[in-house]
Chains A and B, each alone.
Chain A
Amino acid sequence: MGNEASVAVPEVKPVETFRDDFTFANSPKAIRRFPFPFTEDSYMYSVNIEPHNGGPAGSPYAPAFDIDEHYLSEVEERRKVLAEDPSRCTVLEHMMPAQWDTLELLMESLSTDYPDYFVLTRDGDQWTWENRLLGIKDTFTFGDPDTLPYEPFEYITRQVQGDFTLHDQRDNMLYMDGGMLTCQADWSLQFDLGMNFYEWHGPVPRAHEMGVFERALKYLLNLRVGEPVRRLNWTMTVHPRMDTSPENYHKWGIDRATVTPENVGDYAHLRVELQSLYRLPRSNAVLFSIRCYLISLNELVTIPKWAKRMHRVIKTLPEDLADYKGFIGYRPMVVDYLAPFDDGAELTPGAAPE
């Protein structure tokens, strides 16, 4: 279990952009704490679920919900996406208790992990929430949506990095009954809304046949309050673009064709999702948090071990996975870019930068 001392207070940068001029970049500190996902020289799907019970001080695994230097940028990007398309945040009506559960979990976690930035004061059902990074201080009645400027789920997830989905559990199945989705890797809430666990995982190659989803679902159905779990997922994205949604495919799909051997180090980004799953107490719903991290190849190769391992993983990734993840077209350029960094030396196990 993490504690306050193990969660470093992040320095938060002024707003950078995830579109148009793409001013987003990682500081050396952010690079070192990047959740690099590869612990071996090759990659295949597995039931990679582990308890979400803290991690090394300063790492993204230490807090319940990681706040980092990109906080203001990501909150602003979310605001822009929602202004263009409010349906990116949709929650079905029966999920109102789960909305309050989410608000409580996020407020409690953030104020405990980052007491300098977030303060929650409770006086019975009169709650005051202070977000010093955004200059927000609101008093509301817990349980009464009319006392907040948005519904409780939207209110709090507008103030947190990463996407969230909400899942009702019925008849031994999880359903996608709500979400806040503004930085997703090419899937759509409006399309998946109401679907069950197998249905929304429909497009994923191999994993169904491997029994991955059957075992993962069984695990999640038994998730207990206070015992969250986590896993990492990854793909590649051209430019540091958060919003790679099907809705805006016309804006970013074309980017893939613009990658050249000259710009690949700058354009191609490893996109890692630190996913955590919580059983919510009152609603028995499951909250799925998808915290997205982006790192350009130029940034990544500043860590020699990662450069070597990334080279080996991308080079040997099966065709169908590279195709599904959407980078099969520019994969040869990624491999050629990384090859000079890989001397073939045997690497220590694990993903730590060394």
Chain B
Amino acid sequence: MILSQQAKIPVRVTGVERVTPSIKTFTFEREDSAPLPSFSGGSHIVVEMRGGERTYRNPYSLMSPPEDYPSAYQISVRCDDQGRGGAQYMHERVREGDEMTISGPANLFPLTVTAPRHVLIAGGIGITPFLAQLHELRQRGLAYELHYQYRDAEGAAFRDRLAARFGDQTRFYESGRDQYVDPTAILADQPLGTHAYVCGPAGLTQAVHEAAAELGWPARNVHSEEFAAPPPGKPFKVVLERSQREVEVPANASALEAIEEAGIQPSCSCRGGSCGQCEQTVLEGDIDHNDHFLSDEAKARNSSMMICVSRARSDRVVLDL
């Protein structure tokens, strides 16, 4: 027997809570109330949303504590104007009692547990993976500090909970009142071997990486997680050389989604341009890269693409698939 061989876990939504005007927290439990797989801090699941005009599959960080045999998983979803369809679906359509399908947990943002000290820097909804990691850091007895920046008190999801449980290791920044995380100041005084983790808007992530580099930190000591939303764009055609198929990618779907729709299942995992699993060799075509996996040089070479988030500039792309 292979334990819990479940690429897909059927769950029921047992809680929907609005935590800020734009953020909702969803609780999932298994139908039969059996425990869900244990997971490590920083893990995400992929939530499948069916029944709309199309199926969405979006990755969300698990924010519930990584305890043994969790009876429930929790995620938080922010919905804003430019948010992708999935977030809108979660906010507008998902109700308590609904049945949904999720993937097992995977971790692309693990703690480097061999490090003596850990600096966590969150912006807005980027706080969610840290909610789980803080528990793990405490459990392992590792030294840590959290810096959490949000726009205003109303949008400060989980601030009170964090202040109560991890208060002495936490600093809050309200950007609406001109309080900003200063990555250089935060990283400058850290002992050798400290690892930093950042999750939030692209600007914050970049600022942390730059500050660390300037201070001479090794690149591998700085970690970030950023799931890209598959951006809409102009339609294009994908030619699958080995499968001898042609697939039209419409404006509002990703290449991966269109290929799946055509009945082919390429290997993939996070669906947010982070894990690298769906990389495909490009035989022909000009790629508009949107992932966080390929290096800048690899992107310039145009010889492969992450089909979950990247699109084509040319009308046609030929893949070795």
Whose C-beta in chain B lies nearest to the C-beta of A177? B114
Chain B CB count within 10 A is highest, among A224, A225, A282, for A225
Of A108-116, A146-154, A322-330, A340-348, which stretch is located at the interface?
A108-116
Segment with Cβ contacts to B, from A10-18, A72-80, A164-172: A164-172
B146 interface residue (CB < 8 Å to A): no
Q: Which residues of B contact A169 (CB under 8 A)?
A: 107, 110
Tell me which residues across on chain A come within 8 A of B6, comparing CB atoms. Answer: 226
Q: Mostly helix, strand, loop or mixed at chain A's interface?
A: loop
Instruction: Judge whether B194 is part of the interface by a CB distance below 8 angstroms.
Output: no
User: By the criterion CB–CB under 8 Å, are A225 and B105 in contact?
Assistant: yes
Scoring B residues 254 to 289 as 1 if CB is less than 8 Å from chain A, else 0, what string do you get? 000000000000000100000111010000000000
- Smallest Cβ-Cβ distance to A226: which chain B residue: B4
Closest to B68 in A: A282
Size of B's binding interface in residues, CB under 8 A: 32
Q: Nearest Cβ distance between residue B57 and chain A, in whole angstroms?
A: 14
Whether A224 lies near B114 (C-beta < 8 A) is no
Shortest distance between the CB of B36 and any CB in chain A (Å): 10
Residues of A within 8 A of B215 (CB): none
- Whether, in the assembled complex, B27 has its beta carbon less than 8 Å from a beta carbon of chain A, the answer is no
From A97, A108, A224, A282, give the contact of B3 (CB < 8 A). A108
Within 8 A of A (CB), among B1-16: 1-7
Q: Say yes or no: B110 contacts A170, CB within 8 Å.
A: yes
Q: Are B5 and A1 in contact (CB under 8 A)?
A: yes
**Cα of A98 to Cα of B68 in the assembled complex, Å:** 13
Q: Does B39 contact A (CB under 8 A)?
A: yes
Do residues A53 and B40 form an inter-chain contact, with CB atoms below 8 A? no
Q: B104: which A residues are within 8 A, CB to CB?
A: 224-227
A113 touches B38 (CB 8 A): no
A105 at the interface (CB under 8 A from B): yes
Given A105-B3, A282-B39, A284-B40, A224-B106 contact (CB < 8 Å): yes
In the complex, whether A258 has a CB less than 8 A from a CB of chain B is no
Q: Check A282–B38 contact: CB distance below 8 A.
A: yes
Interface centre among A53, A171, A218, A219, by most chain B C-beta atoms within 10 angstroms, is: A171
B-contact 0/1 string along A91-135, CB 8 Å cutoff: 000100100010001001100110000000000000000000000
User: What is the distance, in angstroms, from B252's C-beta to the closest C-beta of chain A?
Assistant: 27
Residue of B nearest to A276 (CB): B2
- B88 within 8 Å of A by Cβ? no
A168 vs B110: C-alpha distance when bound (angstroms): 10
Give CA–CA (A170, B109) in the complex, Å: 9
Interface residue? A89 (CB, 8 A): no
Q: With A281-B40, A283-B40, A284-B43 as given contacts, are A52 and B277 in contact (CB-CB < 8 Å)?
A: no
Q: Is B37 an interface residue (CB 8 A)?
A: yes
Q: Which residues of B contact A224 (CB under 8 A)?
A: 7, 103-106, 269
Determine whether B113 belongs to the interface, using a CB cutoff of 8 Å to chain A: yes
Question: Could you tell me if B269 and A226 are in contact, using CB atoms closer than 8 angstroms?
Answer: no
Contact indicator B3/A226 (Cβ below 8 Å): yes
Let me know if A253 is at the binding interface, CB within 8 A: no
Q: Would A226 and B220 be within 8 Å (CB), given that A170-B110, A170-B114, A218-B276 are in contact?
A: no
Q: Decide yes or no whether A248 CB sits under 8 A from chain B.
A: no
Q: Which residue of B has the minimal Cβ distance to A92?
A: B114
Q: Is the interface of B mostly helix, strand, loop or mixed?
A: loop
* Residues of chain A lying within 8 A (CB to CB) of residue B37: 225-226, 281
1/0 contact string of B25-53 vs chain A (CB within 8 Å): 00000000000011110110000000000
State A105–B104 Cα separation when bound (angstroms): 16
A222 close to B114 (CB less than 8 A): no
Contact in complex: A64, B2 (CB < 8 Å):
yes
CA A29 – CA B290 in complex, angstroms?
Answer: 55
A280 smallest CB distance to B (angstroms):
9
Chain A residue contacts of B38, Cβ below 8 A = 101, 225, 281-282
On chain A, the residues within 8 Å of B7 by CB distance are: 224, 227
B279 CB contacts on chain A under 8 angstroms: 218
Q: B114: which of A109, A168, A225, A284 is its contact (CB, 8 Å)?
A: A168
Query: Is there a chain B Cβ closer than 8 Å to A228's Cβ?
Result: yes
* Assembled-state Cα–Cα distance A219/B3 (Å): 20
| Cβ contact within 8 Å between A222 and B269 | yes
Q: Choose among B43, B112, B277 the residue that contacts A222 (Cβ–Cβ < 8 A).
A: B277
Distance in Å: Cβ of A10 to nearest Cβ of chain B:
15
Q: A222 to B4, Cβ gap below 8 A?
A: no
What residues of chain B lie closer than 8 Å to A105, measured between beta carbons? 3
Instruction: Tell me the chain B residues, 239-264 only, with Cβ under 8 Å from chain A.
Output: none
Assess the B5–A227 pair: CB atoms within 8 A. Answer: yes
Of all chain A residues, the one with the shortest Cβ separation from B220 is A171
Q: B2 contacts A53, CB within 8 Å?
A: yes
Q: Does B59 count as interface, using CB distance less than 8 angstroms? A: no
A145 adjacent to chain B (CB < 8 Å)? no
Interface check A246, CB cutoff 8 A: no
How far does the alpha carbon of A227 sit from the alpha carbon of B5 in the complex, in Å?
6
Distance in Å from the Cβ of B89 to the closest Cβ of chain A? 24
Q: How far is the CA of A284 from the CA of B6 in the complex (A)?
A: 17
| Contact A281-B39, Cβ < 8 Å, known A218-B276, A222-B269, A227-B104 | yes
Interface status of A260 (Cβ within 8 A of chain B): no
- Among A1, A7, A113, A225, the residue within 8 A (CB) of B39 is A225
Q: Is B66 an interface residue (CB 8 A)?
A: yes
Chain A residues with Cβ below 8 Å from B68 are: 142, 282
Task: Determine whether A58 belongs to the interface, using a CB cutoff of 8 Å to chain B.
Answer: no
> What are 14 pairs between A and B in contact, CB < 8 Å?
A64-B3, A113-B1, A142-B68, A169-B107, A169-B110, A170-B112, A171-B112, A218-B276, A219-B277, A222-B106, A224-B269, A225-B4, A227-B7, A282-B40
Other than the known A108-B3, A169-B110, A226-B104, what 17 A-B pairs have Cβ atoms closer than 8 Å? A2-B2, A3-B1, A4-B1, A52-B2, A94-B113, A97-B140, A109-B2, A218-B276, A218-B277, A222-B269, A225-B4, A225-B104, A226-B6, A227-B104, A281-B37, A282-B40, A282-B66
